Amino acid sequence: MGKSGVRVLLVEDDAQLGQALKTGLAQRGHGVDWVRDGVAAELAARAGHYEALLLDIGLPRQDGLVVLRRLRAAGFEAPILMVTARDEIGDRVQGLDSGADDFIVKPVDLDELAARLRAAHRRSMGRSQSLLIHGELRVDPAARQTTLGGRGITLTAREFTLLQYLLEHAGQVRSRHQLQESLYGWGDEIESNAIEVHIHNLRRKLGRELIRTVHGQGYVIDAPPAEPA
């Protein structure tokens, strides 16, 4: 099963469906935080660093369409996928006109949802293709495959997610806190040196020069040099 490692805020008031979506997306490599009403959704989205938002329309305390409009007005730029039981054209038009990136009708197929998340995330990163290329390194988030110089490299789920995150932000220093947020959801127990261990293992498998430590700031994969014209 392909995994994409997108950090997701899930907004769903139905306990059974919410748990099923959280579990299913986590099994596919996503970091998922789950809230159950519109007010909590807006607060969490403004406070967190999310790469996608799965937003139900029919929510307690604040309607999902209101949350959508308020977040877009506040400058929230990550993809927002609307999830709803309402299979009506009017809802879709309102959602898309208000800034939604996609519209998913319940019952939700998890494989389709994961694929739409990957596609929306790629579009938000300015990529139409899923493959990440850095020199001889090739990373395919959808297939969950990594090759270096044509040789397959075996990575753990979190090593892969961390590598993907650094590659998608190549040239940008990411702090230890940002890396933790890309890997772990709320309530996860995190060892104090977990990031350092993952970085050490990636360097051992892919070469020490790939991930650079910026002392006092974090870690970075330098952007590859531009191709000559």
Which tens digits make up the pLDDT trace of 156-192?
888 988 998 899 888 999 998 888 877 776 555 667 7
Q: Residue 84 pLDDT > 60, yes or no?
A: yes
Measured distance CA(163)–CA(147) in Å, rounded: 12
Quick one: average pLDDT of 201-224? 93
b or e along 2-34 (b: 16 or more beta carbons within 10 Å of the residue's beta carbon)? bbbbbbbbbbbbeeebbeebbebbeebbbbbbb
pLDDT band at 12 (very low <50, low <70, confident <90, very high): very high
Q: Residue 3 pLDDT > 50, yes or no?
A: no
- Continuous segment of H or E residues that includes residue 182: helix 176-183
Q: How far is CA 140 from the centre of its chain?
A: 15
Residue 120 pLDDT: 81
CA angle 92, 94, 95 (to 5 degrees): 65
Q: Which two tokens stand for residue 77?
A: 């730029």
Give residue-wise pLDDT tens across range 53-68.
999 988 999 999 999 9
Residue 211 pLDDT: 96
**Averaged pLDDT score across all residues of the chain:** 84
Q: Which two tokens stand for residue 66?
A: 């209101």
Residue 4 pLDDT: 47
Residue 84 CB partners (closer than 8 Å, separation 6+): 56, 57, 58, 64, 91, 103, 104, 105, 106
What does residue 90 show for φ and ψ, rounded to 5 degrees? Answer: -60, -40
Residue 1 pLDDT: 33
Q: Residue 227 pLDDT > 70, yes or no?
A: no
* pTM score: 0.57
